[in-house]
Amino acid sequence: MAAAAAAAAGGRGRRLPPHSPSGPVLQTVEMHTGGEPLRIIPRLEAAEEAAAAGGLSLLSLRREVAAAQDHVRRALVHEPRGHAGMYGAVVVAHGTAAAGAHLAALFLHGAGYSAMCGHAVLALGRFALDYGLVAAPSSPETAVRLRCPCGPVTAFVPWDGHRSGNPVRFHSVPAFAAATDLAVDVPGHGKVVVDIGYGGTFYAFLSAEQLGLDVCSSKTRDLVSAASAVTEAVKKQFKLHHPESEDLAFLYGTILTDGKDAFSEEPTTNICVFADEQVDRSPTGSGVTARIALQYHKGLIQLNQTRTFRSSTTGSLFTGKAVKEAKFGDYNAVIVEVSGEAFYTGTATFTVEEEDPLKYGFFFK
């Protein structure tokens, strides 16, 4: 009896479950913004070492991590530790990749790595203050400089002297209209007309009505299938160009809207389907950025006119407005301010057992 009690007590005192001594022990901070999850990896040793040793830019580090550390993404984003809608961010605090910023971030999703993520920037702004990445936060608001693969962005985070708060807002990289009123032949749907906007990454935009759907009431499965068909059609029929890097010249996804592009005080609703049919639970920060850029380009809104964007999946809200004009290569662009609320949901420690055949996850749609 005494031996059994001692063994039980020892089990209760165990800090970690049995795991591979050579395998990763991954500690995370869990957040969500408008319902879209963010699994933050505050430090990934291999990424920090590569950033420090190689003097790598963030885009180069993104390639390096994808080539050598992709098992970390799969372990944390895919099942059984994650799910089909999971999203993550690796924080990089040192080296050329984070030069001039409080932190840099690599964005992880089910199919790979993104160039920009607005919901993550909003959450990481809070994280940077609460976890000491900004040496001396100021009240009532602190500017947090982040470096994303698409470029530098600044988050503005409420600070009461002890903890961060909401709402958080950020100023985007230059956002622009890449194409407007582009006719695309979508198998199963015929010809549709799309706009393509850039808000740190490229999206195709069209009203769900063009596809015989309603963004507010149609089944999510139908919206996802239609949006994915549009994405594939645009990729085949239109070549994207990015002013600074061909690494960024890819279509990230399609955003179906309610068609309410003209300025209104009422919210406009959308659903973003990105990467490999992944659905954003939030209104999509980089999507709001791109959509504001398109509306400004078309003369539908003016500088500092605030629009509200609603997620069709959760009903959560972001606001967006164009705050100033800019030039980006040959494009007339705008800097967009996006605002939303990010919340902590917990922390986690993940381990692997070497003999587990699914130790680095599996992808199930």
Show which residues are catalytic: 117
Place of tokens 């961060």: 164
Task: Tell me if 170 sits within 8 A of 119, measured CB to CB.
Answer: no
Strands 88-92 and 342-350, sheet pairing: unpaired
Torsion (CA) 202, 149, 116, 102 in degrees, nearest 10: -150
- Give the Cα separation of 197 and 204 in Å (integer): 7
Residue with tokens 């069709």: 312
The 3-state DSSP class for residue 314 equals: coil
* 115, 248 contact by CB (below 8 A): yes
Query: Distance (Å, rounded) from C-alpha 148 to C-alpha 246?
Result: 16
Bridge partner residues of 15 (DSSP): none
Report the distance separating Cα 325 and Cα 328, nearest Å: 10
